[in-house]
Structure 1
C-alpha cells in the first residue's frame, strides 16, 4: 500500500512538473522520469555532507553501494548519489559550504525524492575545552547565531535579542571609553513550520533535532574512534563521542579565541559550523526527522599558532563518517 501510494504521488508530481514551462524549471523530462522511477523504489534516507574532504572520508569507507542502474542523478549543479548503506536505501549529496547551500540541497531532497529524513555529517570547530580534536558531537540543539542586529554605539538590545556581544569588552589593552564598533544583539530565527499557521513564523533560537533519533544515537557513545591519521600523525588519548549538547551555526568560520569564549559562555555550545542549523530547520519546517553528526577538527581560535583544520580535518571527517555509518546501520 505504501509503495502504491508513493507511486501515485510521484506520477502526479511528474505530470504537474511536465506541464510547467521548461523555462521555469531546470528539470528535463528524462530527469523527471528517473526521479519517478527511483521514488517507486523508495523510500530513502537523505545523507548530506558539505565539502570535498568530508566526502573523501565518506567514499574511502566504501560503505555506499551504488544503485545498479542509476548510481547518481545530476540536478541543479549537484550530484545526488543513489545506493545503499548497510542495506538501507540512501540518497547522498554534497551540499556545499554555507547556510544557503545547505538549505537548498536539503529542500531539493524533500521536494524531489521520497526521503524519510536527513542524516547530516561533517566537521566542526570545537569551542568546548572538555573536548579534543577528533572527538564527535551529536548535538540535540542547534542555533543560528548569524542573525545579528548591529546596534548603535549607544543602542539598546531589542527585547527579542539574546546573547549580546559588547565588542569594547575585548579591547586589548582595555581602552577607556567605548569601542566604535559598539555591540551586537543576536536575533532569533523566523521559523516557518508545516504545522504552523501560513505566513505566521515563530521566533526560534534553539532548533531541536529529532528526539527518537537522538535516543537511538546514544548507543553510539563509547564506540571506537580513530586517534591517528597515519603512523606518524596522532592525537593524544582515545577520542570520544557525546550525544545531546548544543551547536551554533553561522556563515562564519570561527578562528578567534575571544569569540570562541563568547559563544561558549553565552550560548553554551560545544561546536560551531556553517550548515547544521540550516539543515535542521529545513528538515523540521518540512516535518521530517533530522540528526547532526560532527567531528571536531580544530579549536576555533583557541590554539597556539595555525588552525589545525588542514592537519586534523581528515581525522575529524573520518570519525564523523564512522559515527554516521553506525547510526544508519541502527535505523529501522
Structure 2
C-alpha cells in the first residue's frame, strides 16, 4: 500500500469512527420522549423521591393501596439503551395528596447510588425516602420490627492484609480471621485480617474536587424528628392466617445501620458487626442512597423492616418466610411518614 492510499484509509477510518460516536451520542426517540414527559411532570412538582430495592418490596408498597398513579403520566422509563433495552421505571403519582416519584433501584450499592443520582438529576425532588427489608443484628430487636436509623456506615471498604500485616492507622476497626479458628488459636489463618476504612465524601457545599473522610453518614435531623412520631404505630404480626410472629412488632427510631455488598447470613460476623459498631440492621443499599442524597444536598431517611436474623438463627434464614411481612410493615411506615411531610 502506497502512502497516498494509506492516507485515504486513515481519513475514512477517522470519519467512520466519528460517525459511530455521533450516532451513539444521539438519544433514541423513546429516550427523547421520556425527557419531554419529565419536563412536563416537573412543572407539576416538586416530588418526594421513593426508592426501594427489589420486587417483593415494590409489591408490598403497591398493595398498600396508598399510591395513586398520575392520570396522564403514570410512569417514565429511563436507563434503556439506544437499542430499546428496558431500563428503570419511575412511577409518578400521589400518596395522601403528596406528589411522589417511586423507583425500584435493584440490589447492591452501585444500583442504589445510580438510581438515586438519576432521580435527583431528572426530577424536581425535595428529598429521598428509601425503604425495604434488612437483616437484624441486634438481639433487642425482632423479625417484623421496623427500624429508622439515625446513622449509616458503609462497612465494605476494606484493607485486606496478610496475617502479619500492619493495619493502616486511619482504619476504624479490625477483623482478625485467626480469632475465629476452631479450635481457637490453632495455627495461622492465611486470610489474615481486614481493616475497615472510611468513605470519601464529596459534597456540593464543600471545596471542589476535595473529599472528607466519613464513616457515619447522618440521616437528616428534621426528617428523623418527624419519624419519631411513628413510634407506637400498629404493625402487622402475621404473614398469613397460619404463620404469625410470637410477639407484636415495634417501630424504633434512632438506631444505627450498616451497608455493604454482602448478604449477611453468618452468626460470627453478625456478632462482630453489632459488638464493633453497635449497628442494629444490615442491608446492601441504604448507605449508598444516603451518601448520594447528602452529597447532593437533599434530605434523606431510611425505613427498613427486619426480615431475618442475619445468620443468628437456628436452621434456615427466615427471609423467605418473613420477608413479605417485613416489607409490608416498612411500606406502612413509609405511607404514614409521607403524611407528616409538608
TM-score, normalising length: structure 2: 0.90
Matched, 1:34 2:44: no
1:86 to 78, 96, 100: 96
Counterpart of 1:74 in structure 2 is 77
Q: Give secondary structure in 1 for the equivalent of 2:164.
A: coil
Q: Which has the larger radius of gyration?
A: 2
Distance of 1:26 and 1:207 partners within structure 2: 36
The CA deviation string for residues 1-58 of structure 1, in whole angstroms up to 9 with x for no partner, is xxxxxxxxxxxxxxxxxxx966336563222211110000000000000000101101
Q: Deviations over 1:236-269 (max 9, x none)?
A: 1111000011000000000000000000000110
Matched, 1:330 2:328: no
2:106 maps to 96
TM-score (norm. length: structure 1): 0.92
- Residue correspondence of structure 1 range 65-214 to structure 2 within 5 A: 65-76=68-79, 77-214=87-224
Deviation at 1:314, TM superposition (A): 0.3
Compared CA separation, residues 25 and 87, structure 1 to 2 (3 A): farther
How many angstroms does 1:139 deviate by? 0.3
Structure 2 distance, partners of 1:52, 1:152, is 40
Q: Offset at 1:178? A: 2.5
Q: Secondary structure at the match of 2:205?
A: coil
Distance between the aligned counterparts of 2:254 and 2:216, measured in 1? 13
Alpha-carbon distance change, 321 to 25 in structure 1, aligned in 2, over 3 angstroms: farther
Q: 1:232 to 1:149 in 2, by over 3 A?
A: same
TM-superposed deviation, 1:176: 2.6
Match of 1:49 among 49, 52, 58: 52
User: For 2:72 and 2:223, how far apart are their aligned partners in 1?
Assistant: 31
Q: Would you say 1:24 and 2:25 are equivalent positions?
A: yes
The 3-state SS of whatever aligns with 1:104 is helix
Shift of 1:330: 0.7
Instruction: Quote the offset at 1:225 in angstroms.
Output: 0.4
SS at match of 2:271: helix
Give how far 1:299 is off.
0.2
Question: What secondary structure sits across from 1:229 in the alignment?
Answer: coil
Aligned mate of 2:254, from 244, 247, 250: 244
Q: Find the aligned partners of 1:52 and 1:192 in 2 and give their Cα distance.
A: 31
| Distance (Å, rounded) in 2 between the aligned partners of 1:220 and 1:300 | 25
State the match for 2:273 in structure 1. Answer: 263
Residues in 2 aligned to 1:201 and 1:271: alpha-carbon distance in whole angstroms = 27
Flag structure 2 segments of 5+ consecutive residues without an equivalent: 1-20, 80-86
SS in 2 for 1:234: coil
Unpaired segments ≥5 residues, structure 1: 1-19
Question: Cα 1:26–1:149, aligned 2, differ >3 Å: closer, same or farther?
Answer: farther
Aligned residues: 313
Cα–Cα, structure 1 residues 196 and 165, in superposed 2: closer, same or farther, change >3 Å? same
Give the whole-Å Cα distance in 2 for the aligned partners of 1:139 and 1:82: 27
Q: 2:26, 2:111 → 1: CA distance?
A: 18
Superposed displacement of residue 153, structure 1: 1.2
Alpha-carbon distance between aligned partners in 2 of 1:142 and 1:25, rounded to the nearest angstrom: 39
The 2-side partners of 1:242 and 1:25 are apart by 48
Give, in angstroms, the shift of residue 171 of structure 1: 1.1
1:234-313 to structure 2, matched below 5 A, reads: 234-313=244-323
